[in-house]
Amino acid sequence: QVHLQESGPGLVKPSQTLSLTCTVSGDSISNIDYYWSWIRQPPGKGLEWVGYIYYTGDAYYSPSLESRVSISLDTSRNQFSLELTSATAADTAVYFCARVVTWRREADSWGQGTLVTVSS
Amino acid sequence: DVQMTQSPSSLSASVGDRVTITCRASQSVSNYVNWYQQKLGKAPKLLIYTASNLRSGVPSRFSASGSGTHFTLTISGLQPEDFATYFCQQSYHTPSYTFGQGTKVEIK
């Protein structure tokens, strides 16, 4: 059974880069049947799709974040990562990593989420 | 981005009630709609994929239907563990698989 676990700083200063890593166990991020995605949820609000990456390294981002976001793979560690530059208070959220089935495109497995607060 | 509009945003219901949540897309998303359940402080859990397919292990009291722009999630015989927030998501228009704003199901 696949397990995803987010890790990274819980506090980021404004204008700095928010960086998170998702460690996957029980599956390989080279599995051609899945995308690997990031989704966030500001406190008390709804879910926002951030972006996803395929085993080829091709990544796709939400248009609203595209200028600031980057998702990458580390196949040697079976991890994928998120970087969000020029962070502001509006980026304060619980960040989830999730596995997405390629042909049906549902997020079938999620990490527990990690809260990142952007504050000085 | 494709907008997904859920209604109602919240509802109160009793154990045993039948509950229906609606999700409307701002443009056709074919049948690429998924439904998730989220409990407080937890990650969302997949209930339904591609509009009407029940994920393995999800109770059969959950059902869903729809295509194009109009979708519904129904819980037939609400159970205490079903009190949660439910989100629809379109996964047809890339690269942003947008979510609805959520429907909170509360105990009456």
pLDDT, residue B107, reads 87
Residues, chain A, total? 120
Question: What number is the average pLDDT over the span A102-118?
Answer: 96
pLDDT, residue B5, reads 97
**Å from B79 to nearest chain A CA?**
23
Q: Does A48 touch chain B (CB under 8 A)?
A: yes
Identity of the amino acid at A89: A
Q: Does B46 touch chain A (CB under 8 A)?
A: yes
Q: Does B94 touch chain A (CB under 8 A)?
A: yes
**A46–B46 CB contact, under 8 Å:** no
Q: Which residues, including other chains, have CB under 8 Å from residue B53's CB and lie 6 or more apart?
A: none
First-to-last alpha carbon distance for chain B, in angstroms, is 35
Chain A residue nearest residue B104, CA to CA: A46
pLDDT, residue A52, reads 97
For the stretch A56-70, pLDDT in tens is 999 999 999 999 999
Q: Which residues, including other chains, have CB under 8 Å from residue B56's CB and lie 6 or more apart?
A: none
Residue by residue, pLDDT tens for chain B (108 residues) are 899 999 999 999 999 999 999 999 999 999 999 999 999 999 999 999 999 999 999 999 999 999 999 999 999 999 999 999 999 999 999 889 999 999 999 988
pLDDT, residue B1, reads 84
**What phi-psi label fits residue A26: left (phi over 0), alpha (psi between -120 and 50 degrees) or beta?**
left
**A107–B32 CB contact, under 8 Å:** no
Chain B residue nearest residue A115, CA to CA: B41
Peptide bond preceding A43 in cis form (omega within 30 of 0): no
Q: Which residues, including other chains, have CB under 8 Å from residue A79's CB and lie 6 or more apart?
A: A21, A22, A23, A24, A29, A73
- The answer to whether A1 and A58 have CB atoms below 8 angstroms apart is no
pLDDT, residue B108, reads 87
pLDDT, residue B16, reads 96
The alpha carbon of B72 is separated from its chain's Cα centroid by a whole number of angstroms, namely 7
For the stretch A9-40, pLDDT in tens is 999 999 999 999 999 999 999 999 999 999 99
In angstroms, rounded to a whole number, what is the distance separating the alpha carbons of residues A12 and A41? 16
Give the residue from B23, B89, B97 with the most A CB atoms within 10 Å of its CB, the best one to mutate.
Answer: B97
Chain B residue nearest residue A107, CA to CA: B46
Angstrom distances, CA of residue B17 to CA of B37, B52, B54: 17, 21, 20
Q: Does B56 touch chain A (CB under 8 A)?
A: no
pLDDT, residue B92, reads 95
Mean of per-residue pLDDT scores for chain A? 97
Helix segments in chain B, DSSP class H: none
Strand ranges of the sheet holding B53-54, from the earlier edge strand across to the other edge = B10-13, B103-107, B85-90, B33-38, B45-49, B53-54
Question: B3-38 burial by CB neighbour count: b if 16+ within 10 A, else e?
Answer: ebebeeeebebeeeeebebbbbbeeebebbbbbbbb
pLDDT, residue B8, reads 97
In angstroms, rounded to a whole number, what is the distance separating the alpha carbons of residues B73 and A1? 27
Q: Does A78 touch chain B (CB under 8 A)?
A: no
pLDDT, residue B52, reads 97
**Å from A26 to nearest chain B CA?**
18
